[in-house]
Structure 1
Amino acid sequence: MSESNVTGQDAASSRTALSRLRPVVCGVGAALTGVLAVASCGNGSGNGGAGTSTPTAPATSNFSGTVPSGMSSWAESKKAEASASASAAASSASARASEFEASVSADTERARAEAQKQLAKVKGRGNATKDVSMTGVPLSQTHNVRALLVTMTNRTDKPASFAVQVDFSDSHGKVVETVVVGAQNVEPGQKAERYAISHKPPEPHLTAELAKAQRY
Protein backbone atom coordinates (compact mmCIF):
# COMPACT_ATOMS: atom_id res chain seq x y z
CA MET A 1 0.00 0.00 0.00
CA SER A 2 1.36 3.37 -1.00
CA GLU A 3 2.00 6.17 1.48
CA SER A 4 -0.56 8.39 -0.26
CA ASN A 5 -3.30 5.77 0.19
CA VAL A 6 -2.52 5.43 3.89
CA THR A 7 -2.64 9.17 4.37
CA GLY A 8 -5.96 9.41 2.58
CA GLN A 9 -7.51 6.63 4.68
CA ASP A 10 -6.25 8.27 7.91
CA ALA A 11 -7.79 11.59 6.91
CA ALA A 12 -11.10 9.92 6.08
CA SER A 13 -11.08 8.10 9.43
CA SER A 14 -10.39 11.37 11.25
CA ARG A 15 -13.29 13.10 9.52
CA THR A 16 -15.61 10.20 10.39
CA ALA A 17 -14.57 10.24 14.06
CA LEU A 18 -14.99 14.01 14.22
CA SER A 19 -18.47 13.84 12.71
CA ARG A 20 -19.44 11.26 15.36
CA LEU A 21 -18.12 13.45 18.15
CA ARG A 22 -19.93 16.62 17.06
CA PRO A 23 -23.43 15.62 18.38
CA VAL A 24 -21.89 14.61 21.70
CA VAL A 25 -19.98 17.89 22.05
CA CYS A 26 -23.02 19.91 21.03
CA GLY A 27 -25.25 18.07 23.50
CA VAL A 28 -22.80 18.70 26.33
CA GLY A 29 -22.55 22.38 25.37
CA ALA A 30 -26.32 22.81 25.36
CA ALA A 31 -26.67 21.10 28.72
CA LEU A 32 -24.00 23.33 30.24
CA THR A 33 -25.33 26.61 28.90
CA GLY A 34 -29.03 25.85 29.47
CA VAL A 35 -29.97 28.07 26.51
CA LEU A 36 -31.23 27.49 23.01
CA ALA A 37 -28.00 26.54 21.28
CA VAL A 38 -27.69 27.27 17.59
CA ALA A 39 -24.33 25.68 17.22
CA SER A 40 -21.83 25.44 14.46
CA CYS A 41 -21.96 21.74 15.11
CA GLY A 42 -23.41 20.30 11.94
CA ASN A 43 -24.03 16.88 10.64
CA GLY A 44 -20.81 16.93 8.67
CA SER A 45 -22.50 17.22 5.29
CA GLY A 46 -21.53 19.79 2.71
CA ASN A 47 -18.23 21.43 1.96
CA GLY A 48 -15.73 21.82 4.78
CA GLY A 49 -18.00 19.96 7.21
CA ALA A 50 -20.42 22.98 7.55
CA GLY A 51 -24.04 21.88 7.73
CA THR A 52 -27.50 22.94 9.00
CA SER A 53 -27.38 23.62 12.79
CA THR A 54 -29.90 21.95 15.10
CA PRO A 55 -31.39 24.06 17.94
CA THR A 56 -31.33 22.45 21.35
CA ALA A 57 -34.10 23.27 23.87
CA PRO A 58 -33.05 24.81 27.20
CA ALA A 59 -32.86 22.59 30.23
CA THR A 60 -35.91 23.19 32.45
CA SER A 61 -35.36 20.59 35.15
CA ASN A 62 -34.31 23.30 37.66
CA PHE A 63 -37.30 25.60 37.02
CA SER A 64 -39.97 25.18 39.69
CA GLY A 65 -42.54 27.63 38.25
CA THR A 66 -42.58 29.67 41.47
CA VAL A 67 -41.27 33.17 42.12
CA PRO A 68 -37.69 33.09 43.48
CA SER A 69 -37.49 33.70 47.21
CA GLY A 70 -35.51 36.90 46.64
CA MET A 71 -38.29 38.32 44.45
CA SER A 72 -40.95 37.32 46.98
CA SER A 73 -39.04 39.05 49.77
CA TRP A 74 -38.74 42.18 47.64
CA ALA A 75 -42.50 42.20 46.91
CA GLU A 76 -43.35 41.74 50.59
CA SER A 77 -40.97 44.56 51.47
CA LYS A 78 -42.66 46.92 49.01
CA LYS A 79 -46.10 45.94 50.31
CA ALA A 80 -45.00 46.70 53.86
CA GLU A 81 -43.57 50.06 52.77
CA ALA A 82 -46.87 51.01 51.08
CA SER A 83 -48.86 50.01 54.16
CA ALA A 84 -46.55 51.99 56.44
CA SER A 85 -46.82 55.01 54.14
CA ALA A 86 -50.64 54.91 54.18
CA SER A 87 -50.63 54.53 57.97
CA ALA A 88 -48.26 57.48 58.33
CA ALA A 89 -50.48 59.62 56.07
CA ALA A 90 -53.57 58.83 58.14
CA SER A 91 -51.71 59.52 61.39
CA SER A 92 -50.42 62.82 60.03
CA ALA A 93 -53.90 63.89 58.90
CA SER A 94 -55.34 63.05 62.32
CA ALA A 95 -52.61 65.03 64.09
CA ARG A 96 -53.14 68.06 61.87
CA ALA A 97 -56.91 67.87 62.47
CA SER A 98 -56.37 67.81 66.24
CA GLU A 99 -54.08 70.84 66.03
CA PHE A 100 -56.61 72.70 63.91
CA GLU A 101 -59.44 71.86 66.31
CA ALA A 102 -57.43 73.07 69.29
CA SER A 103 -56.81 76.40 67.61
CA VAL A 104 -60.45 77.08 66.77
CA SER A 105 -62.10 77.62 70.15
CA ALA A 106 -61.49 76.87 73.81
CA ASP A 107 -65.09 75.73 74.44
CA THR A 108 -65.31 73.44 71.38
CA GLU A 109 -64.83 70.20 73.33
CA ARG A 110 -67.33 71.11 76.05
CA ALA A 111 -70.01 72.03 73.50
CA ARG A 112 -69.33 68.84 71.51
CA ALA A 113 -69.68 66.64 74.59
CA GLU A 114 -73.04 68.19 75.41
CA ALA A 115 -74.14 67.90 71.77
CA GLN A 116 -73.39 64.18 71.78
CA LYS A 117 -75.60 63.73 74.84
CA GLN A 118 -78.44 65.59 73.15
CA LEU A 119 -78.14 63.69 69.87
CA ALA A 120 -78.30 60.36 71.71
CA LYS A 121 -81.88 61.26 72.62
CA VAL A 122 -82.92 62.24 69.10
CA LYS A 123 -85.12 60.02 66.97
CA GLY A 124 -84.86 60.69 63.27
CA ARG A 125 -82.89 63.66 61.98
CA GLY A 126 -83.88 66.16 64.69
CA ASN A 127 -85.86 69.40 64.79
CA ALA A 128 -83.29 71.83 63.39
CA THR A 129 -82.07 70.52 60.02
CA LYS A 130 -83.55 73.59 58.30
CA ASP A 131 -81.64 75.88 60.64
CA VAL A 132 -78.21 74.40 59.81
CA SER A 133 -76.05 74.89 56.71
CA MET A 134 -72.60 73.59 55.82
CA THR A 135 -69.84 75.09 53.68
CA GLY A 136 -66.62 73.36 52.68
CA VAL A 137 -63.38 75.06 53.69
CA PRO A 138 -60.49 75.09 51.16
CA LEU A 139 -57.67 72.75 52.15
CA SER A 140 -55.22 75.59 51.66
CA GLN A 141 -56.79 77.37 54.62
CA THR A 142 -56.74 74.37 56.96
CA HIS A 143 -53.22 73.00 56.33
CA ASN A 144 -54.66 70.18 54.20
CA VAL A 145 -57.28 69.16 56.77
CA ARG A 146 -60.79 68.39 55.51
CA ALA A 147 -63.20 70.73 57.33
CA LEU A 148 -66.72 72.12 57.01
CA LEU A 149 -68.02 75.36 58.43
CA VAL A 150 -71.32 74.53 60.11
CA THR A 151 -73.66 77.51 60.57
CA MET A 152 -76.53 77.24 63.08
CA THR A 153 -79.21 79.95 63.01
CA ASN A 154 -81.54 80.53 65.94
CA ARG A 155 -84.88 81.39 64.36
CA THR A 156 -86.77 81.35 67.66
CA ASP A 157 -87.50 84.21 70.03
CA LYS A 158 -85.37 82.89 72.89
CA PRO A 159 -81.80 81.62 73.37
CA ALA A 160 -81.21 78.12 72.05
CA SER A 161 -78.43 75.55 71.85
CA PHE A 162 -77.65 73.29 68.90
CA ALA A 163 -76.29 69.79 68.41
CA VAL A 164 -75.22 68.77 64.89
CA GLN A 165 -73.99 65.45 63.48
CA VAL A 166 -72.07 65.35 60.20
CA ASP A 167 -71.39 62.03 58.46
CA PHE A 168 -68.53 61.55 56.00
CA SER A 169 -69.11 58.82 53.39
CA ASP A 170 -66.85 57.18 50.83
CA SER A 171 -67.59 56.69 47.13
CA HIS A 172 -69.72 53.62 47.95
CA GLY A 173 -71.95 55.57 50.33
CA LYS A 174 -70.48 53.93 53.42
CA VAL A 175 -70.14 56.21 56.45
CA VAL A 176 -66.47 56.14 57.44
CA GLU A 177 -66.47 58.96 59.99
CA THR A 178 -68.96 60.87 62.15
CA VAL A 179 -68.27 64.31 63.57
CA VAL A 180 -70.40 66.12 66.14
CA VAL A 181 -70.34 69.86 66.81
CA GLY A 182 -72.41 72.04 69.08
CA ALA A 183 -73.17 75.64 70.03
CA GLN A 184 -74.73 76.83 73.25
CA ASN A 185 -76.89 79.80 74.15
CA VAL A 186 -77.26 81.31 70.71
CA GLU A 187 -79.31 84.49 70.97
CA PRO A 188 -82.58 84.90 69.03
CA GLY A 189 -81.95 85.76 65.39
CA GLN A 190 -78.23 85.13 65.77
CA LYS A 191 -75.92 82.59 64.18
CA ALA A 192 -73.20 80.36 65.58
CA GLU A 193 -70.42 78.84 63.50
CA ARG A 194 -68.40 75.73 64.27
CA TYR A 195 -65.98 73.62 62.28
CA ALA A 196 -66.77 69.97 61.59
CA ILE A 197 -63.25 68.59 61.17
CA SER A 198 -62.43 65.21 59.66
CA HIS A 199 -59.48 63.17 60.91
CA LYS A 200 -59.27 61.28 57.61
CA PRO A 201 -56.63 62.10 54.95
CA PRO A 202 -57.80 64.53 52.25
CA GLU A 203 -57.65 61.70 49.69
CA PRO A 204 -59.66 59.74 48.73
CA HIS A 205 -62.57 62.16 48.48
CA LEU A 206 -65.34 61.87 51.09
CA THR A 207 -68.87 63.27 50.90
CA ALA A 208 -70.22 65.18 53.90
CA GLU A 209 -73.89 64.96 54.88
CA LEU A 210 -75.93 66.64 57.59
CA ALA A 211 -77.15 63.56 59.45
CA LYS A 212 -78.82 65.15 62.51
CA ALA A 213 -79.49 68.63 63.87
CA GLN A 214 -81.24 69.27 67.18
CA ARG A 215 -82.18 72.53 68.81
CA TYR A 216 -82.65 72.35 72.58
Structure 2
Amino acid sequence: MNPPSARPGGSVRARAVSAAAAVVLTALGATALVSCDGGGDDTGAPTFSERPTAPDTGGFSGELPSGVASSAQEAIESVQASAASAAASASEREAERKASIGTEIERNRQDAENALKDVKGRGNALGEVAMTGKPRADTGGVLTVVLNVTNKTDEEASYAMQVDFLDASGKVVETQFVGVEDLEPGEREQPLVISRQPPEPVLTPRLTKAQRY
Protein backbone atom coordinates (compact mmCIF):
# COMPACT_ATOMS: atom_id res chain seq x y z
CA MET A 1 0.00 0.00 0.00
CA ASN A 2 1.54 3.30 -1.10
CA PRO A 3 2.14 6.08 1.54
CA PRO A 4 -0.19 9.00 1.35
CA SER A 5 1.17 11.97 -0.67
CA ALA A 6 1.12 15.61 0.57
CA ARG A 7 -1.81 17.62 -0.55
CA PRO A 8 -1.04 19.81 -3.50
CA GLY A 9 -2.76 22.79 -1.92
CA GLY A 10 -0.58 22.71 1.21
CA SER A 11 2.62 22.71 -0.79
CA VAL A 12 1.56 25.75 -2.83
CA ARG A 13 0.61 27.69 0.29
CA ALA A 14 3.98 26.94 1.90
CA ARG A 15 5.90 28.21 -1.11
CA ALA A 16 3.82 31.37 -1.24
CA VAL A 17 4.46 32.12 2.42
CA SER A 18 8.19 31.59 1.97
CA ALA A 19 8.33 33.91 -1.03
CA ALA A 20 6.38 36.64 0.79
CA ALA A 21 8.72 36.39 3.75
CA ALA A 22 11.74 36.80 1.47
CA VAL A 23 10.27 39.93 -0.13
CA VAL A 24 9.55 41.46 3.29
CA LEU A 25 13.06 40.73 4.51
CA THR A 26 14.62 42.20 1.37
CA ALA A 27 12.57 45.39 1.73
CA LEU A 28 13.45 45.70 5.39
CA GLY A 29 17.12 45.25 4.60
CA ALA A 30 17.07 47.97 1.95
CA THR A 31 15.29 50.34 4.31
CA ALA A 32 17.85 49.66 7.00
CA LEU A 33 20.68 50.42 4.58
CA VAL A 34 19.15 53.74 3.55
CA SER A 35 18.32 54.81 7.09
CA CYS A 36 21.80 53.90 8.37
CA ASP A 37 23.64 55.87 5.64
CA GLY A 38 25.00 58.94 7.41
CA GLY A 39 26.97 60.20 4.41
CA GLY A 40 30.26 59.36 6.06
CA ASP A 41 30.93 55.99 4.45
CA ASP A 42 33.30 55.51 1.56
CA THR A 43 30.80 53.80 -0.73
CA GLY A 44 30.02 57.02 -2.57
CA ALA A 45 26.36 55.98 -2.84
CA PRO A 46 24.20 59.11 -3.33
CA THR A 47 21.22 59.78 -1.07
CA PHE A 48 18.03 61.30 -2.27
CA SER A 49 15.17 63.14 -0.69
CA GLU A 50 11.71 63.25 -2.06
CA ARG A 51 11.84 67.03 -2.72
CA PRO A 52 14.90 69.27 -3.13
CA THR A 53 15.22 71.93 -0.45
CA ALA A 54 15.08 75.51 -1.76
CA PRO A 55 18.25 77.56 -1.05
CA ASP A 56 18.12 80.02 1.82
CA THR A 57 18.42 83.42 0.14
CA GLY A 58 17.94 85.39 3.33
CA GLY A 59 21.72 85.83 3.70
CA PHE A 60 22.28 87.12 0.13
CA SER A 61 22.83 90.91 0.45
CA GLY A 62 24.30 91.50 -3.02
CA GLU A 63 27.56 92.70 -1.46
CA LEU A 64 30.94 91.02 -1.20
CA PRO A 65 31.93 89.70 2.21
CA SER A 66 33.88 92.29 4.16
CA GLY A 67 37.16 90.37 3.90
CA VAL A 68 36.91 90.03 0.10
CA ALA A 69 35.84 93.66 -0.33
CA SER A 70 38.76 94.82 1.81
CA SER A 71 41.26 92.81 -0.22
CA ALA A 72 39.83 94.15 -3.49
CA GLN A 73 40.03 97.73 -2.23
CA GLU A 74 43.62 97.22 -1.13
CA ALA A 75 44.49 95.85 -4.57
CA ILE A 76 42.89 98.87 -6.28
CA GLU A 77 44.69 101.30 -3.99
CA SER A 78 47.98 99.50 -4.62
CA VAL A 79 47.54 99.78 -8.40
CA GLN A 80 46.61 103.45 -8.09
CA ALA A 81 49.62 104.13 -5.89
CA SER A 82 51.91 102.35 -8.37
CA ALA A 83 50.48 104.37 -11.27
CA ALA A 84 50.89 107.62 -9.33
CA SER A 85 54.46 106.69 -8.43
CA ALA A 86 55.29 105.86 -12.07
CA ALA A 87 53.78 109.16 -13.24
CA ALA A 88 55.75 111.06 -10.61
CA SER A 89 58.96 109.28 -11.61
CA ALA A 90 58.34 110.09 -15.28
CA SER A 91 57.67 113.72 -14.40
CA GLU A 92 60.84 113.89 -12.34
CA ARG A 93 62.89 112.35 -15.15
CA GLU A 94 61.46 114.85 -17.63
CA ALA A 95 62.24 117.72 -15.28
CA GLU A 96 65.79 116.41 -14.83
CA ARG A 97 66.19 116.06 -18.60
CA LYS A 98 65.05 119.65 -19.21
CA ALA A 99 67.30 120.89 -16.44
CA SER A 100 70.22 118.99 -17.97
CA ILE A 101 69.51 120.48 -21.41
CA GLY A 102 69.25 123.95 -19.91
CA THR A 103 72.55 123.47 -18.11
CA GLU A 104 74.25 122.31 -21.31
CA ILE A 105 72.89 125.28 -23.29
CA GLU A 106 74.10 127.71 -20.66
CA ARG A 107 77.54 126.07 -20.56
CA ASN A 108 77.75 126.27 -24.36
CA ARG A 109 76.74 129.94 -24.32
CA GLN A 110 79.26 130.80 -21.63
CA ASP A 111 82.10 128.99 -23.44
CA ALA A 112 81.30 130.81 -26.69
CA GLU A 113 81.18 134.19 -24.96
CA ASN A 114 84.52 133.52 -23.26
CA ALA A 115 86.10 132.45 -26.58
CA LEU A 116 85.00 135.74 -28.21
CA LYS A 117 85.92 138.02 -25.34
CA ASP A 118 89.36 138.94 -26.65
CA VAL A 119 88.59 138.64 -30.37
CA LYS A 120 89.27 141.82 -32.33
CA GLY A 121 87.08 142.58 -35.29
CA ARG A 122 84.60 140.00 -36.54
CA GLY A 123 86.74 136.89 -36.05
CA ASN A 124 88.51 134.44 -38.36
CA ALA A 125 85.61 132.19 -39.34
CA LEU A 126 82.94 134.36 -40.99
CA GLY A 127 83.55 132.46 -44.24
CA GLU A 128 82.72 129.17 -42.51
CA VAL A 129 79.42 130.27 -40.99
CA ALA A 130 76.22 131.08 -42.89
CA MET A 131 73.01 132.30 -41.31
CA THR A 132 69.46 131.55 -42.42
CA GLY A 133 66.09 132.26 -40.80
CA LYS A 134 63.26 129.91 -39.86
CA PRO A 135 59.68 130.82 -40.78
CA ARG A 136 57.87 132.35 -37.83
CA ALA A 137 54.91 130.09 -38.65
CA ASP A 138 57.11 127.14 -37.65
CA THR A 139 58.36 128.71 -34.42
CA GLY A 140 55.16 130.14 -32.93
CA GLY A 141 56.14 133.65 -33.95
CA VAL A 142 59.52 133.52 -32.18
CA LEU A 143 62.45 134.91 -34.14
CA THR A 144 64.83 131.97 -34.75
CA VAL A 145 67.92 131.74 -36.95
CA VAL A 146 69.98 128.74 -38.05
CA LEU A 147 73.77 128.93 -38.18
CA ASN A 148 75.30 126.60 -40.76
CA VAL A 149 78.81 125.96 -39.45
CA THR A 150 81.18 124.03 -41.72
CA ASN A 151 84.78 123.20 -40.83
CA LYS A 152 86.65 124.05 -44.01
CA THR A 153 90.07 123.37 -42.53
CA ASP A 154 92.13 120.17 -42.42
CA GLU A 155 92.04 119.93 -38.63
CA GLU A 156 89.45 119.48 -35.93
CA ALA A 157 88.16 122.85 -34.73
CA SER A 158 85.65 124.49 -32.44
CA TYR A 159 83.63 127.62 -33.25
CA ALA A 160 82.14 130.47 -31.27
CA MET A 161 79.53 132.82 -32.76
CA GLN A 162 77.85 136.03 -31.69
CA VAL A 163 74.45 136.98 -33.10
CA ASP A 164 72.98 140.43 -32.45
CA PHE A 165 69.31 141.36 -32.91
CA LEU A 166 68.76 144.91 -34.13
CA ASP A 167 65.65 147.07 -34.19
CA ALA A 168 64.57 149.27 -37.11
CA SER A 169 67.02 152.01 -36.11
CA GLY A 170 69.99 149.62 -36.11
CA LYS A 171 70.28 149.52 -32.33
CA VAL A 172 71.33 146.24 -30.77
CA VAL A 173 68.42 145.06 -28.62
CA GLU A 174 69.68 141.56 -27.80
CA THR A 175 72.91 139.55 -28.09
CA GLN A 176 73.17 135.76 -28.14
CA PHE A 177 76.25 133.50 -28.09
CA VAL A 178 76.44 129.93 -29.35
CA GLY A 179 79.26 127.47 -29.90
CA VAL A 180 80.08 124.28 -31.79
CA GLU A 181 82.79 122.01 -30.40
CA ASP A 182 85.19 119.48 -31.92
CA LEU A 183 84.00 119.68 -35.52
CA GLU A 184 85.88 117.31 -37.82
CA PRO A 185 87.26 118.55 -41.17
CA GLY A 186 84.39 118.91 -43.64
CA GLU A 187 81.80 118.29 -40.91
CA ARG A 188 78.83 120.62 -40.49
CA GLU A 189 76.50 121.48 -37.64
CA GLN A 190 73.42 123.72 -37.50
CA PRO A 191 72.88 125.25 -34.06
CA LEU A 192 69.82 127.42 -33.45
CA VAL A 193 69.82 130.93 -32.05
CA ILE A 194 66.49 132.00 -30.57
CA SER A 195 65.58 135.56 -29.66
CA ARG A 196 63.94 136.12 -26.30
CA GLN A 197 62.30 139.33 -27.43
CA PRO A 198 58.56 139.59 -28.26
CA PRO A 199 57.50 139.22 -31.92
CA GLU A 200 56.84 142.95 -32.16
CA PRO A 201 58.62 145.12 -33.01
CA VAL A 202 60.32 143.04 -35.69
CA LEU A 203 64.06 142.61 -35.15
CA THR A 204 66.80 141.85 -37.66
CA PRO A 205 69.45 139.22 -36.78
CA ARG A 206 73.12 139.84 -37.62
CA LEU A 207 76.11 137.51 -37.43
CA THR A 208 78.50 139.85 -35.68
CA LYS A 209 81.43 137.52 -34.86
CA ALA A 210 82.55 134.00 -35.75
CA GLN A 211 85.78 132.63 -34.35
CA ARG A 212 87.47 129.30 -34.99
CA TYR A 213 89.71 128.03 -32.22
Alignment TM-score, normalising by the size of structure 1: 0.50
Q: Partner letter of residue 177 of structure 1?
A: E
> Quick one: percent identity of the two aligned structures?
50
Aligned-pair distance for 1:167? 0.7
What is aligned with 2:177? 180
In the alignment, does 2:149 pair up with 1:152?
Answer: yes
Deviations 1:73-125 (A, max 9, x none): xxxxxxxxxxxxxxxxxxxxxxxxxxxx9898874322221111000010110
Q: Secondary structure at the match of 1:213?
A: strand
Deviations 1:11-33 (A, max 9, x none): xxxxxxxxxxxxxxxxxxxxxxx
Q: Partner letter of residue 153 of structure 2?
A: T
What is aligned with 1:141? 138
In the alignment, does 2:206 pair up with 1:209?
Answer: yes
Q: Secondary structure at the match of 1:118?
A: helix
Deviating 4+ runs (over 4 angstroms): 101-106
Alignment TM-score, normalising by the size of structure 2: 0.51
Q: Distance in 2 between matches of 1:102 and 1:202?
A: 26
In the alignment, does 2:193 pair up with 1:196?
Answer: yes
In the alignment, does 2:166 pair up with 1:169?
Answer: yes
Q: Distance in 2 between matches of 1:108 and 1:192?
A: 15
What is aligned with 2:125? 128
The answer as to whether partners of 1:108 and 1:182 remain within 8 angstroms in 2 is no
Q: Distance in 1 between matches of 2:129 and 2:157?
A: 13
- Mind listing any 5+ residue stretches in structure 1 that lack a counterpart? 1-100
